[in-house]
Structure 1
Amino acid sequence: MAAVFLRRLSAFFALLIAVSVLGVGGAASPALADPDEGGTKTLRDALESAAKGQADAIQKLNASKKRQVQLQATVKNATASAKALESQVGQIANRSYRLGRTSTVTLLLNSTSPDSFLQRIQQIDMLGQIDGQILQQYRDDVARAQAAKAAVDREIVEQQKQVAALTKKKKEAELALGSVGGGGAAGGFVSANSPLAKPAPRNSDGSWPKESCTVDDPTTSGCITPRLLNAYQQARAAGFTHYTSCWSQRSSGEHPKGRACDFSANKSGFQNVAASGADKTYGNNLAAFFVKNADRLGVMYVIWYRQIWMPGTGWKAYSKSGGPSEVHTNHVHLSIL
């Protein structure tokens, strides 16, 4: 009798363990969906540094290019305006050369009456004002064109610095990927038909504002950043409504910071098998959605089906070993800046 009781008790605890691990419908619990979130802490720190720096550099580079176009237009307009005044300036110069310094006295002496004398004075005064205005406008236009050109040159120098920064950050990201055995080019998941997401708010200079875990996580009892909430909401608005888990208590990584979500390929939860069929297609489309909207959402990296994507490197092989959760074949991992 005692032996039967012990067997039943053992079976009961085994059942409890199975339920806690698998959850309803055979899905893994949120805590096991992404055990180490893309590798070691060193890798994640390198990824964050590279991706954040690259995102900021891209914004500065785009701003520099936009400003460069504006300044080039200023140079063009100022030069055209100065060109139009050249003939008038030439006429003034020729008149000054012909009449010389005595021209004013000569004009006054040639007057035949007091009224004519006064009229000549008014004409001379008006002529002087017109000459002065034309010459000043000419000088102002030329100076403006020169200043604009100098500004363009400074923008180009800054642009070159940003390109160098991008190259350096890209190299850092590649080295970080190499630290877990990845880094090789991969086919990736991209779709031109992916819908556009609503952009997350930026600073006035185009950079991303610093955010912390301040809003309620709709998928757990924890918190996430406003930027991650926007990404989650935009994904759902685009039709990606399968089971998702964002915040979780861990010793490191993006999840406890409220900057990462795991999107299950299966509708009901994280299955302990590699996604196939409709589930695989769902994951492919979701990964492609995040890639297409990376700049709008502030995506740091995406991991799906043994591949990892970052803005500066594109899709690379993610050769970490392990089960479906470790190699991300049962869920799409999203990390936001």
Structure 2
Amino acid sequence: MTAASRGIRRHDALRALLSAFTAVLLCACMVSAGHAAPKPSAKKLRKELAQLQKQSETMIAEYHAGRVELQKVEKSEKVARGNLERAQRQFDSAAAEIRLLAAEQYRAGRMGMTAALLVNTDPGAMLNRLALTQQLIREQDAKLQGFAKIRDFHRAARTAADERAEQLRASLKKLDGQKKRAEKLIGQIKDRIDRLYPTPGLRRADGSWVPQLPSGPDNITPRMRLVRQLIAQRFGPRFGIGCYRADGGIAGGGEHPLGRACDFMLSTGGGMPSAAETNRGHQIAAWAIKNARRLGIMYIIFRQRIWHVRTGTWRMMSDRGGTTANHYDHPHISVY
């Protein structure tokens, strides 16, 4: 028997063994599927997701309206507090005038009575002076009562504003809790949708993935195509997603020419992204880290740092001299 024929026989035996092993796995999966509850379809999950997102948007709108109303109430409370302080100063001033006038009346009355005993002063003149003093006291008392009403009104207004502000803060706290719970549930449903898509390709025993060849008009691998699809569905391709390009430093280890890398842009023209877009970049990177082993993601570059699945940690990179070159305007994701 020649070496070639022996090799053919070994190949046929290996193929038969793999076929038998595959059959056993399929039977096991079918038995397991028969006992397990049926998984929800992507259509059903997307319907649940749309409903939850609608509820979340309603909560966000109510939360925003509550914040606006709270600002108005706090402004009214501030105005009422200022009016109360002015009314209190006016009240205190008027009260001081009344006390001074009463003291003067008391002294004048005592002196008038003493003078009347010593000198025969005209009683009519004394009554006129007393009547004038009493008139002044009545006018000051009316003024004082007016200030007291103003003070009490503003004090009541401030109390009402304080109570309304407290009610609004409690409502906002409740809404915020509901919104967070809805966002958590939305994230869970999105995770379930992601897991409905099996990762293309073969996985080695050590957990790494066998590299794939690019295909299709976009010149990327099926594995990279799935990662791009899931990120676009979940986070949106707002400023575009760049994957295959002929240059990219194959000699230096770049995966773009191999169809195994994509850039998820956060701005255009090399500009620094906004705070919201930078946060979206962090969310994309966090999602990629969370799903790295399942989807065959090899490493992520974002904001002059690189994360590799082998180490599971971020490390700084050397300065390449620009916003785009240092990956500040996009997360870069490479797959095996």
Q: Which structure is higher in helix share?
A: 2
If asked which structure has higher relative contact order (CA below 8 Å, sep 6+), I would say 1
- For the aligned pair, the TM-score class normalised by the smaller chain equals 0.3 to 0.5
User: Given the two structures, how large is their TM-score scaled by the length of structure 1?
Assistant: 0.40
Structure of larger gyration radius:
2
